[in-house]
Amino acid sequence: MYHHALSSRRCMLSVSLRRPTRRRAGGVFIGFMDHLSFPCLTVRKSIHDNAAMAARIVIERLEFYGHCGVTEEERRKAQLIAVDLELDATIESAAFSDRLDETIDYARVAERLVALGTSLDCNLLETLAEQLVGVMFAEFPVERVRMWIRKLHAPLAMVAGSVGVRFERTRATHHTYNTDPSPAPFLIQQLTRLPKGRVLDVAAGRGRHALHLLSHGMQVEALDRDTEALAMLEAAAQARHLPGLATRVLDLEQNPDRPPSLGEECYDAIVVFFYLHRPLFPALMEALKPNGMLLYETFTIDNYFRQQHPRRWEFCLAHNELLRLTTPLRVLHYDEGEHDGGHGSGPSYTARLVAQKAGPETPP
C-alpha cells in the first residue's frame, strides 16, 4: 500500500498590480492579474467594471505517488508525481468578506487532486492531467487552468531531472473536449447557499449535478425513472471515490393528476435542473426541511420560440411562473434570461431560482 505525500508549504498572499518578479518554491500564491493579462483601471470604465478583478491562485509542487507509465512494470510501482497549478477565478469578494466559501479552497483542491491521482492507473501523463483538470472545472468555479505535471524521478538513466507536460485549458475549451457534461453554472455559483446535509436531485439523469454535490461532501439522493442512467451515476461516483450517494428509481409522472410524495421535511436542499412537472411543486416544498433550500432552473417560453426547444411549449415556464409556483418560499435569487446551461451547446433562455422554506432560523 502506497501513501500519498502532500508537501508542507507556507502560504503566501500577494496583492499587486505588477507582475510578480519571482516566486518561492512550494506553497500557494494568490495574486491579482496585472495590466498585461487583465484590463487596467481607466476612466473609460465604470466603477462597477473596474471593480471586477480576476485573481490567480497558484499551487506549487503538489506531490503524490501515482501509477503512470507505458509499461506494466512501470505502472506496478507508484512513482512520485508533482503538479503545479494556476487557477484563474473571479473571487475578489473574499478579499473584503474574509470568507473561505467566497474563494477557492486550495486545501480542498489539493485533497481532490491527490485522491484522484493516487486512484488512477494511466499509461500517459497526458491522460492523468486530463482527469485532474476535469475535476477542476467540474467541482470548482475556475475559468482557466494552467498545469505542469511531471515525474520527479523518471526511470531514464540519461535524465537527471523531471519529465512532464505543461498545458493550459479554459472552461469553454474544456467543454469541447469533454463529453461528460459539467454541472450547470448556476449550481456552481449558488453552491455556497446550500446547507451541507441531505440533498435531493430530482430528474438526476446521469448525475452531473449529483456528482458535483457529492464532491463537496453532501449526502445526495438521486431520483430518476431511468434505471440505466442511475446505474451510470453509481459507477461514476464509485470511480471518483465519492461516498454519500443513494439512488431511487421513480416515475414522477406515472399518475399526472397525483404525483408521488417525496416525503415530509426530509431534505436540507432540493435541486431541479431542466425538468418541469407543475403538479410536483407542492411535493417539493413539503419535502424540504424548515430553512431548506430549493435550487431550480429550467427553460422559459422564450427558448421554445427562439430555439425550438423543448419540442413542446408545455415543457417551458411562462414569464414569472416559477415565482408563482413557489409562492410559499422566500426568494433569495431569481432571474430570467439567456444563460449558459453547461451543456456545451450554447446558451439557453431559462428561469433560475433559489428559495428557502420558512423555519426558526429564517430571517423575517
The DSSP code sequence of 155-180 is S-TT--S-EEEEEEEEHHHHHHH--S
Q: Is the peptide bond before 310 cis (omega within 30 degrees of 0)?
A: yes
* Per-residue tens of pLDDT for the chain, all 364 residues: 434 434 333 333 333 333 333 333 456 555 544 433 433 334 444 434 444 456 788 999 999 999 888 887 787 888 999 999 999 887 777 778 888 877 888 888 999 899 888 887 777 888 788 888 888 887 888 889 999 999 988 778 788 888 889 988 887 776 555 555 678 889 988 988 998 899 999 999 999 999 989 888 889 999 999 999 999 999 888 877 788 999 999 999 998 888 899 999 999 999 999 999 999 999 999 999 999 999 999 999 999 999 888 888 999 999 999 999 999 999 999 999 998 765 555 789 999 999 999 988 666 6
pLDDT of residue 345: 57
Q: Please report the sign of the dihedral spanned by the C-alpha atoms of residue 202, residue 204, residue 207, residue 209.
A: negative
Task: Give the strand pairing for 55-68 and 347-356.
Answer: unpaired
CA distance 105 to 168: 21
Q: Please identify which residue in the block is written with the cell numbers 469553454.
A: 172
- Please say whether the beta carbons of 145 and 120 come within 8 A: no
Q: Which domains does the chain have, with CATH numbers?
A: 11-177 (3.30.1130.10), 185-356 (3.40.50.150)
pLDDT of residue 342: 55
Write the CA distances from 175 to 118, 171, 245, 258, 340, integer angstroms.
25, 6, 25, 39, 12
Three-state SS at 234: helix
pLDDT of residue 69: 85
Write the CA distances from 76 to 69, 118, 155, 315, 329, integer angstroms.
9, 13, 13, 52, 55
pLDDT of residue 26: 56
Write the CA distances from 237 to 32, 137, 169, 186, 213, integer angstroms.
35, 17, 24, 21, 11
pLDDT of residue 101: 76
CA distance 331 to 314: 24
Which ranges in the chain belong to alpha helices (H)?
A: 47-51, 72-76, 93-97, 106-119, 125-139, 171-177, 185-190, 208-215, 227-239, 281-287, 301-307, 321-325
CA angle 329, 333, 339 (to 5 degrees): 130
pLDDT of residue 146: 92
Rounded to 10°, the helix 208-215/227-239 angle is: 30
Three-state SS at 266: coil
